């Protein structure tokens, strides 16, 4: 299967309400698709490609986060259910999203990033299909904008 997933027929929120948000999110998803495929195992045996997180460790997540902070930090926060407040409550690190997303240099060797990657390696399910990952990301970003 090629690097670009055709997402045109996947369910998504209405683009009429927040068109700029959906356009930006679509671009983020295209970038995330390539990063997920490059940094994690892809299972193409079923009807939909699945990203396999089973054997992924802290270093795998850290490399994926480091590939594009602006995309992968919010994607993993939303898919894993770890917004800033929840991450601080459970793991004692405040403002994890802003600390990582806005960082201009590599995340390697940066303790909060390493902690976030370690937590992701523990909490992410064995595998998720790409449609679930990206639709969750769409819906969570939409929900954040409506608040």
Give the span between the Cα atoms of 81 and 5, in whole angstroms.
Answer: 24
Mean pLDDT of 3-14: 62
pTM for the model stands at 0.85
> Looking at residue 143, what is its pLDDT?
83
Tell me the residue length of the chain.
147
SS3 129: strand
- Using DSSP, how many helices (H) and how many strands (E) does the chain show? 7, 3
> Looking at residue 84, what is its pLDDT?
94
Q: Choose between 31 and 22: higher pLDDT.
A: 31
For the cut 80, the answer to whether the pLDDT of residue 18 exceeds it is: no
């Amino acid at each position: 299967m090629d690097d670009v997933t055709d997402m045109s027929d996947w369910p998504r929120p209405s683009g009429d309400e927040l068109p700029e948000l959906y356009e930006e999110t679509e671009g983020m998803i295209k970038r995330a698709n390539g990063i997920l495929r490059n940094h994690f195992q892809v299972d193409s045996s079923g009807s939909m490609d699945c990203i396999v997180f089973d054997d992924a460790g802290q270093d795998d997540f850290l490399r994926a986060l480091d590939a594009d902070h602006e995309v992968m930090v919010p994607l993993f926060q939303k898919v894993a259910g770890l917004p800033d407040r929840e991450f601080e409550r459970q793991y004692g690190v405040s403002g994890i999203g802003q600390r990582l997303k806005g960082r201009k240099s590599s995340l390697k060797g940066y303790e909060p990033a390493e902690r976030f990657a370690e937590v992701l390696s523990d909490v992410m399910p064995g595998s998720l299909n790409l449609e679930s990952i990206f639709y969750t990301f769409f819906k969570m970003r939409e929900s954040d904008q409506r608040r």
